[in-house]
Structure 1
Amino acid sequence: MDTSAQDEAAAAFVRELAYWRRYRAMSKKTLAGRIGFDPSYVSHMESGRHQPTEEFARRVEAVLETGNRVWQRYVVFAGTRRQRGLSLAPAPIAIAPPAGPHLVIEEELASLALVDGWYECRIWRHLHSVGTEPITRHTVQIDIDRFPDDPERSMAFHARHPLSTDEVDFRASIGVDQPEPMKWKVTRSRNAFLKIVLLFGSDGVPYPLYPGQRTLIHYAYRVPEWKFGDWLQRDIRLPTRRLNIRLSFPSSSHPAVWGSETSFTTDVTTDVTPSSRERDGLVEYEWEVPRPRLRAQYRLNWRYPDLSLR
């Protein structure tokens, strides 16, 4: 293994460390105090002056609770050292699960299609309970903005044409092989926003998601095209392993589609071009994101060239 591979592995460790330290809202001095290292050591580590060590990685993982992401970066780095004959890579350590109810989204598929003047949205989430307590509910939301570039106009528009639960025809199910309907309730409602709690169970009988268990939930809703707006956004509020966003339009609409990723930990927005294909009279766009960042926004926008379609 050459030195460049080792340097790249060390840099990947530093990036992961710095990301999770900022995400946990810790200064370098605070982190150093909690792991028992001198503050200058953490600073030198993030600047690349020190290389990762096993003890440092173990303590950082225990304090930042990154789901072994920082530790795995160290394992990769240690592997490059072993192949150069410098040291042996340690076996991964077991990190205790976080206290309380905690969910990880192993995969999310968000699909939106324009059908007969309605935008129909469907969300599939593969959930994994990774905490120490059972989970009994999961919160989702519907959020639209007819004129995102003109907040005052959009606010006035949605005040005149508010969302209603009857209009969106919300439904949800749980299970993989034989999905069953989920009970749900609206906990917050604004003109262009609905917050909805999905209750784990079926036929009115609670059935919590216990620690270590996995399940699949699906929910769907619809909004009239003239009310929805020209964008679909996914906000990463829970650790997510994979995100997939798909759009489907009639080929005759000739939409222009583009995407963007906004990270609030770095205040950086990156433009993205989704892949596309045409079949059966439809044009489909897809954007797959492995390991999307927490508290980041992933957004697809579209425009129609013919204003009469609006």
Structure 2
Amino acid sequence: MQRATDTDVTTGQGAAGEVNAFAVELRRWRDVRGHSRMSLAKAMGYDRSYVSKVESGAERPSEAFAAHAEAALRAGGALRAAFRDFEAHRPARARPALPPESTEQPGTGHGLVVDHDDATLRYDAGIYRLTQRRRLVNRGSDPITRYLIRISVDRFPGDPQRSNQLYSDNPLTWDEIGLRAWHGQGRTNPMDWTAHHDRAAFKEVWLLFSGEHSHFPLYPNETCWIEYEYTVREEHWGNWYQRAVRLPTRTLSVCLNFPAELVTSAWGLHMSMTAQPMPFATAITRAEAVEENGRRHVFSWSCEDPPLHARYRLEWDFRGRADTSAGPSPRPSEVMVALGIVQAGDPALQRVARLFDLPAEAEDARRVATALNSVGQRIAKAHTFGKGMGLAAPQIGIDRAAAIVRTPDGEAITLFNPTIIEEAGEVDEQYEGCLSFFDVRGQVPRAHVIDVKHTTVDGATKITRFERGVARLVAHEVDHLHGYLYTERMRPGLDTIPVEQYRSTDTTWKY
């Protein structure tokens, strides 16, 4: 019986016996990316012996070495952070012990923990290729003989009816996926697999710790790498990729690799069962790579000790070309759905948003403002707003009283706990649009001048006067925070009009 296992990561101890945090991370990421010391040295432009000495802890790394290693291994900032720890002479950060899971069903994966979960998604000529590598540790008391994986696609997130129709008419097939799997470092042993669930947009597969001529169970206290790879056509794959943490995991990393001519922008959201979606706590880094078939843009991100059941979602937009793969151009509302905007009919838009207790919740308020600005930037890339734009927290699924406004002149306004306390001046009707139902426009009466009471993050109460077009923008967002849509402000008997009939897109307000 053949058993292929990997040895534990070296501790990278120096002569004095202290743990070298940088050496530990360097070895870890070299394993993750499948480099030998020779190939890593070549990719970095360094001598192999120097790379070996740094990794063993015998040689002190330089800042330039750390930067080259970070770029070559696409570590999402992990190597830079480890170098800073090393330079500050701090001991390597202790990783919390990962609790074993139940072992009620021997051989099915119970008792597993994931030392490193790494995914690389590459796009070429209308095809996505996902390569997933995991370093598994058996903390249970029984041999593990199979591992469950999931392949799930959604071309139109937020529009289940359209997605269901797409996969009903054109289901995801096993031939399209072309799933392959291996066990052991360097794809040592091909793994057999069997289908567990086969649906039009969803597959579940048991990867078996066995091949054509051998079996290699993962025994208690052993570790191993498994790797699998599959492809999906872009008409089946939306512009997003999500990782769900289903087993105790120490390190999670993702790499997105796109042709440079697509001019890709990428961002990420962290979601859990108990909190609203938030931007990644650590930034996604972008690097440029040169390959035989041209330049590539490579986006890398990683995090340590992700909580169980957390979901990390990366999204992107190909700004260098129009996406015609799915047929006609998407409706404005479909664009907003794809950008994460909550749509009319959702109860979140009918509730009064929860106030901030400031300054006690100052950090929460800043995080919500960051999320709003992040989404606002994505929206501004997808649509030109000649009259300015606004966005309220409930529109991105966050039940807090915060909103942002961008005026036509580029001024940025952030409001916490806003309430209109007085209106003055003339009242006029002008057309408004709303990101939560962006296919139509409606005439809304608003006062030319409003006074808004709001709270700063340090707890101070302010009253700010807004006039004309900016007053209209602010009033629209304050309405959102109190559970109103602009259609409720329209005069009786007036209806919205399709956006195609609206002739003032991209122009400023007229007074």
TM range, smaller chain: 0.5 to 0.7
**Amino acid of the structure 1 residue aligned with 2:169:** R
Whether 1:295 and 2:303 are equivalent positions in the alignment is no
Residue by residue over 1:54-109, the C-alpha shift from the partner in whole angstroms, topping out at 9 and shown as x without a partner, is: xxxxxxxxxxxxxxxxxxxxxxxxxxxxxxxxxxxxxxxx9996652410000011
Q: Provide the rounded CA distance (Å) in 1 between the counterparts of 2:122 and 2:211.
A: 28
**Structure with max Cα Rg:** 2
Aligned twin of 1:176: 185
What's the counterpart of residue 20 of structure 1?
none
Structure 2 SS opposite 1:208: coil
Q: 1:282 aligns with which of 272, 284, 296?
A: 296
> Does structure 1 retain, via aligned residues, the 8 Å contact 2:98–2:249?
no
Q: What CA deviation, in whole Å up to 9, does each residue of 1:213-254 have, x standing for no partner? A: 101000000001122111111110000000000101101101
| Equivalent residue runs for 1:130-141 within 5 Å | 130-141=139-150
Query: Structure 1 96/290 Cα, relative in aligned 2: closer, same or farther at 3 Å?
Result: closer
Aligned to 1:24: none
Residues 308 and 285 of structure 1, relative CA distance in 2, 3 Å threshold: same
Say which structure, 1 or 2, has more relative contact order (CA 8 Å, 6+ apart). 1
User: Which residue among 200, 205, 220 is the counterpart of 1:191?
Assistant: 200
> 1:155 aligns to what SS in structure 2?
helix
Q: Provide the rounded CA distance (Å) in 2 between the counterparts of 1:157 and 1:133.
A: 43
Letter in 1 for 2:285: S
- Cα separation, 2, equivalents of 1:286 and 1:300: 10
Aligned partners of 1:146 and 1:154 also within 8 Å: yes
Do structure 1's residue 240 and structure 2's residue 254 form an aligned pair?
A: no
Match in the other structure for 2:271: 262
> 1:98·1:132 contact (CA, 8 Å) conserved in 2?
no
TM-score computed with the length of structure 1 as normaliser: 0.66
Cα deviation per residue 1:104-128 (whole Å; 9 max; x = unaligned)?
Answer: 0000110100012200000000000
Q: SS of the counterpart of 1:176?
A: coil
Instruction: Work out the percentage of aligned pairs sharing the same amino acid.
Output: 35
Gaps spanning 5+ residues in structure 1: where? Answer: 1-93
Are 2:101 and 2:112, in contact at CA under 8 Å, matched by a contact in 1?
A: no
Q: Secondary structure at the match of 2:246?
A: coil
For residue 192 of structure 1, report the CA deviation from its aligned partner: 0.7
Residue 277 (structure 1) shift = 1.2
- Superposed displacement of residue 175, structure 1: 0.6
* Alpha-carbon contact 1:107-1:243 (below 8 Å) kept: yes
- Report if aligned partners of 1:257, 1:302 keep a CA contact under 8 Å in 2: yes
Residue 308 (structure 1) shift? 4.0
Question: Separation in 2 of the partners of 1:126 and 1:175?
Answer: 9
Q: Give me the whole-angstrom Cα distance separating, in 2, the residues matched to 1:115 and 1:185.
A: 28
- Counterpart of 2:267, as a letter, is W
TM-superposed deviation, 1:177: 5.0
CA shift, 1:189, in A, is 1.0
Q: Within 2, Cα distance between the matches of 1:124 and 1:118?
A: 20
Alignment match, 2:68: none
Look up the equivalent residue of 1:304 and give its one-letter code. F
Relative distance call for 1:207 and 1:279 in structure 2 (3 A) is closer
Looking at structure 1, the residues matched to 268 and 171 of structure 2 have their Cα atoms a distance apart, in angstroms, of: 27
- For 1:283 and 1:137, how far apart are their aligned partners in 2? 35
Is residue 249 from structure 1 mapped to residue 255 from structure 2 by the alignment?
Answer: no
Deviation at 1:134, TM superposition (A): 1.2
- For normalisation by structure 2, the TM-score amounts to 0.41
Equivalent in 85, 94, 111 of residue 102 of structure 1: 111
Q: Using the alignment, how far apart are the partners of 1:217 and 1:95 within structure 2?
A: 19
Distance 1:308 1:200 in 2: 40
Task: Work out whether 1:156 is the aligned partner of 2:165.
Answer: yes
RMSD: 1.9
Shift in Å at residue 205 of structure 1? 3.3
**2:131 alignment partner, one of 119, 122, 127:** 122
Is this contact kept in 1: 2:192–2:211, CA < 8 A? yes
1:254 and 1:278 map into 2 onto residues whose CA distance is 11
Structure with the larger strand share: 1
